[in-house]
Structure 1
Amino acid sequence: MAAIREAQILTPAEALSRLVTGNKRFVYGNPRYGHDVTQAAATAGGQQPHSLVLGCIDSRVPLEAIFDQSFGSICVARSGAHVLDRSLIGSAGFAVASLGVSLVVVVGHKRCGAVNATVQALRDGVVSDDEVGYLVDQLAPAVREVGLDDEDAAEKAIRSHVIRTTERLRKVHTLSEPLAAGRLNVVGAIYDLDSGWVEFLS
C-alpha cells in the first residue's frame, strides 16, 4: 500500500516535479525503483497514477525507466512517433476522468525513425496507403511546417510534432474542462537518446 500512497499527487505541478526528479535519478545512475515483483504486488489492489505519459514505440525509450517511476505511478500509452488516434485519445480521456491523473506528458525523442521515414517519403514523393502510410500522413504537417529543404528537418519536425500533439490533446473535451479548472496540465517533452535527459517544453 505504500507504493499507492506515494503515487497520490493532487496537482499538475507536483506530478511534473515527480517526473523531473525521477529523470534526474535516471540520468545520474541513482534509480529508486528496480521494478521487482513485490512492488507489483503492492499495487495489485488498485491504482492512483499521477500522470499519463504518451510516447513512441521506440525500444530505446522505456518511459517508466527514464522517469524512474514505480508501479502505479504513471499510465503509459505508446504509438509510432506518439501519433494520436481514437484509441489513444480515448485512453487519455479515461486516464483523466476515471483514474484522476493530473498531468499528461507527450514525449518525443531524438532520431525518431517514424519522423525520419516521413521526411524521406515526402522528399521522394512516395507515400504508401497502408498502415505505415497513416503514420506518414499524421506526421507530414509537422514536417511541412519546418520545411523539407531544411537539413535538420527531421529533428525540428520531432519538436513540432510534440507541440502539435499537446495542442490537439488540450482541445479534447474530457481534458479541456480539467485544464481550464487547473486540475490538469498537458505538456510536451523531448528525450535525448544519448544523455538520457528529458527536456520539458514550455
Structure 2
Amino acid sequence: MTATRDAQVSTSSEALSELIAGNKRFVYGRPRYGHDVARAAATANGQKPHSLVFGCIDSRVPLEAIFDQTFGSICVARSGAHVLDRSLIGSINFAVAELGVSLVLVVGHKRCGAVHATVEALRAGATPGGDVGYVGYLVDELAPAVQAVGLDGEDTDERAVREHVGRTVDRLRDVPELAHEIAADRIRVVGAVYDLDSGWVEFLP
C-alpha cells in the first residue's frame, strides 16, 4: 500500500489547522493516532507529509505526540533549542522541494535548557565566540536572541525563547529556495511555543 496525504490537507492553511486540531486532541486527552505497527506499515512504500516541524531535542517535547500526528503526516527535524545549521536548512529544503510539505513550523518550548544555559553564561560575563566547543556553538547561536530581550527580569528565559523562535522563522524565510516558495504562496513558515505544563502550543503571529 502506498501512503498518500489526506486530500483535506493540501495547503499551508489546512496543514496549520490540522496541527492546531491535533494539539487540542492531545491536550484534551483524545488522541486519534498511536504508534501502531499497522499504521507504520501502511506508509512503508511512500510518504506525502503535509508539514515539517522543527523543534528542540528536549525529551519532554515529542513533536508527533503533541500534535497527534500519525506515521507519514509530518517530517520532524530537531536540534538543541532548534538552532539552525547547514544540514538542517538542507533537510528543510528537501522536505519542501522533494516531499511537498506546505508548512514549516518552528516550535520552541518553555524552560528550554539551552536557552537557560545561554542566559546564565551571558549573565556571568561570557563572550559569544569565546567557547570553541560544540555546546559553545549553541550558546553563540542563541546569544543574539537573549541579548535582544535583555538579561534583566525573571522571565528572561521565556522572552528569549519567543525571540529565538521569531529569529529562526525569519532566517528560514530568507533562505532563497524557501523564499521563492513563500513568494509563490506554496508554503508558509510559522513559529510556535509549547507549554510543558499544559500541553498547549501557542502559535505566534
TM-score (normalised: structure 2): 0.95
Which residue of 1 is the match for residue 176 of structure 2?
173
- Between stretches 116-125 and 4-13, larger displacement belongs to 4-13
Partner amino acid, structure 1, of 2:152: D
CA RMSD, Structure 1 to Structure 2 (Å): 1.3
In 1, the alpha carbon distance for the partners of 2:2 and 2:9 equals 13
Retained in 2: the 8 A contact 1:139–1:161? yes
Task: Kindly state the Cα deviation for residue 178 of structure 1 after the two structures are TM-superposed.
Answer: 1.1
Uncovered stretches (5+) of structure 1, i.e. residues with no partner:
none
Which residue of 1 is the match for residue 24 of structure 2?
24
Task: Kindly state the Cα deviation for residue 7 of structure 1 after the two structures are TM-superposed.
Answer: 6.9
CA gap of 1:7–1:74, structure 2 versus 1, over 3 A, is farther
In 2, the alpha carbon distance for the partners of 1:155 and 1:129 equals 26
Name which of 138, 152, 155 aligns with 2:158: 155
Name which of 150, 160, 183 aligns with 2:186: 183
Name which of 135, 143, 164 aligns with 1:140: 143
Question: Equivalent residue of 2:94, what SS?
Answer: helix
TM-score (normalised: structure 1): 0.97
Verify: 1:115 aligned to 2:115, yes or no.
yes
Verify: 1:125 aligned to 2:144, yes or no.
no
CA gap of 1:5–1:187, structure 2 versus 1, over 3 A, is closer
Over the matched positions of the two proteins, sequence identity in percent amounts to 73
In 1, the alpha carbon distance for the partners of 2:150 and 2:39 equals 47
Partner amino acid, structure 2, of 1:121: A
Verify: 1:67 aligned to 2:67, yes or no.
yes
Task: Kindly state the Cα deviation for residue 123 of structure 1 after the two structures are TM-superposed.
Answer: 0.7
Retained in 2: the 8 A contact 1:3–1:71? no
Task: Kindly state the Cα deviation for residue 8 of structure 1 after the two structures are TM-superposed.
Answer: 6.8
Question: Equivalent residue of 1:182, what SS?
Answer: coil
Task: Kindly state the Cα deviation for residue 109 of structure 1 after the two structures are TM-superposed.
Answer: 0.2
Question: Equivalent residue of 1:18, what SS?
Answer: helix
Task: Kindly state the Cα deviation for residue 150 of structure 1 after the two structures are TM-superposed.
Answer: 2.8
Number of aligned residue pairs:
202
Which residue of 1 is the match for residue 93 of structure 2?
93
Uncovered stretches (5+) of structure 2, i.e. residues with no partner:
none
Which residue of 1 is the match for residue 45 of structure 2?
45
Partner amino acid, structure 2, of 1:183: R
Which residue of 1 is the match for residue 200 of structure 2?
197
In 1, the alpha carbon distance for the partners of 2:186 and 2:115 equals 32
